[in-house]
Structure formats: C-alpha cells, structure tokens
Amino acid sequence: MTGVRITEANEQDVEKFVRDEDDRDFFLDRLRRRGAQGGRVFLAIDGDRAVGYVYLRLETAEELKLRLLLNKAPLLERLRVERENRLQGIGRMLVTMAEATAWVHRRRQVALGVVVARKPKSPVPTSPIGFYRKLGYSEWRFGRIKTYKDGRKSEIEYCRVFVKKLTPPTA
Ligand SMILES: CC(C)(COP(=O)(O)OP(=O)(O)OC[C@H]1O[C@@H](n2cnc3c(N)ncnc32)[C@H](O)[C@@H]1OP(=O)(O)O)[C@@H](O)C(=O)NCCC(=O)NCCS
C-alpha cells in the first residue's frame, strides 16, 4: 500500500474527501452537533479521496445496555474501507489510530457493534468479525443488543458487541 495517510478530520476534510453521501452526512452530523467532545473522525486519504474511515464515539452510548455494561468505553462506528483498497492494512491503521485517541482520553477499552440482522433470529453474516478478532476484539458475554439504525426509531437492528481492552500505544 502506498500513498495512503491516516488523519483526524474536521468538517472541511469530510466535505472534501468523503465521497459516499450517507457516510459524509453521518460524519458531518456528528462533528456539527456533538463536536470534538462527542467523537472524532479518522480518514484514510489517497490523493483527493478518502478510501477508508471510522468514527470514534467518545460520548456515552445511546443504548442503555452498553452504558451499563461498558463503563464509558468509546465505540467504533462507520468503519469502512473501499472494496478495492481492502486487505492492505488500512482498516487496521484506522482502528489503531482510533484506539490511540481513546487511550489519550483515558479510556481503557473500546467497543463496537456488528449488525447481524434486522430481525432477531435471522442468519448471522460474519464478514467483519474475523477482522475484529485479528485486532484483539472479543465478543462480550451479554448477548445481542437492539439499536436504531442512524438513531431512527423506525429501523431496528440487532448487533453483536465486541470489546478490546487497550494497552498503551507503542511509539
Ligand atoms: C472490515 C474492513 C474494515 C477491513 O478493512 P481492511 O483494510 O481490509 O483490513 P486490513 O487490511 O487492515 O486487515 C487487517 C487484518 O485483518 C484481516 N482481515 C481483513 N478483513 C477480514 C475479514 N473480513 N475477515 C477476516 N480477516 C480479515 C486481514 O487479512 C489482516 O490480517 P493480517 O494482519 O494477518 O494480514 C473492510 O473489509 C470493510 O470495510 N468491510 C465492509 C464494511 C464493514 O463491514 N465494516 C465494519 C462494520 S462493523
């Protein structure tokens, strides 16, 4: 992989580099309404476009179960690497940067939800789970959680939750 840089992004960066409209709106909404206290956007930039990104949510989770059981663990949201740029280490670099930022904010674990189904008992696709396991995340023992897609109460999703205890970042 050459020429890709990972950087924390502000609103202007998001507008300039993120091509996908849904993802761009998501990041802009987070940055505008919640600010840096709410969370941080990280972009993997190649030339004039983002080929990957992730949001580190520092503010308290919306889901009661996460708030009660995760003790302020920040959440990784909207992690995505463009299909043609996968398996080149970009996802790992984005997550590593988000984890290092969480550590600086005195958080000692990071969590995330993998959407498994829009109905409670439908089959479980496993696609990103191997990636998270490789990076040291383990599934928690408290079962799936119910969330609302993009905060909209009309669209329910079920997620498996993965958690990683952080260690000090290496130089
Ligand atoms: C999951 C995703 C972010 C991984 O990004 P990536 O840039 O391809 O990952 P990396 O190249 O950094 O991979 C790091 C390691 O994980 C492995 N890996 C990557 N994707 C994997 C997968 N789906 N299953 C198992 N292992 C995987 C890589 O082989 C690599 O292993 P290595 O260190 O032994 O070489 C990317 O596939 C993606 O955007 N998927 C679609 C969106 C998505 O599912 N996001 C997660 C929402 S919860």
Q: How far apart are CA 149 and CA 168, in angstroms?
A: 33
84 lines ligand 1 (CB under 6 A): no
Nearest ligand 1 atom to the CA of 132 is 16
User: Is the pLDDT at 47 greater than 70, yes or no?
Assistant: yes
136 lines ligand 1 (CB under 6 A): no
CA–centroid distance, 16 to ligand 1, in Å, is: 25
Residue 151: per-residue pLDDT: 63
Residue 152: per-residue pLDDT: 66
Nearest ligand 1 atom to the CA of 114 is 48
Domains and CATH numbers, the chain: 4-165 (3.40.630.30)
The mean pLDDT of the chain is 91
Residue located nearest, by CA, to atom 19 of ligand 1: 131
pLDDT band at 155 (very low <50, low <70, confident <90, very high): confident
Q: 73-115, pLDDT tens digit by residue?
A: 999 999 999 999 999 999 999 999 999 999 999 999 999 999 9
Q: What is the 3-state secondary structure (H, E, C) of 2-15?
A: CCEEEEEECHHHHH
Q: 123-147, pLDDT tens digit by residue?
A: 544 489 999 999 999 999 999 999 8
Q: Are 118 and 156 in contact (CB under 8 A)?
A: yes
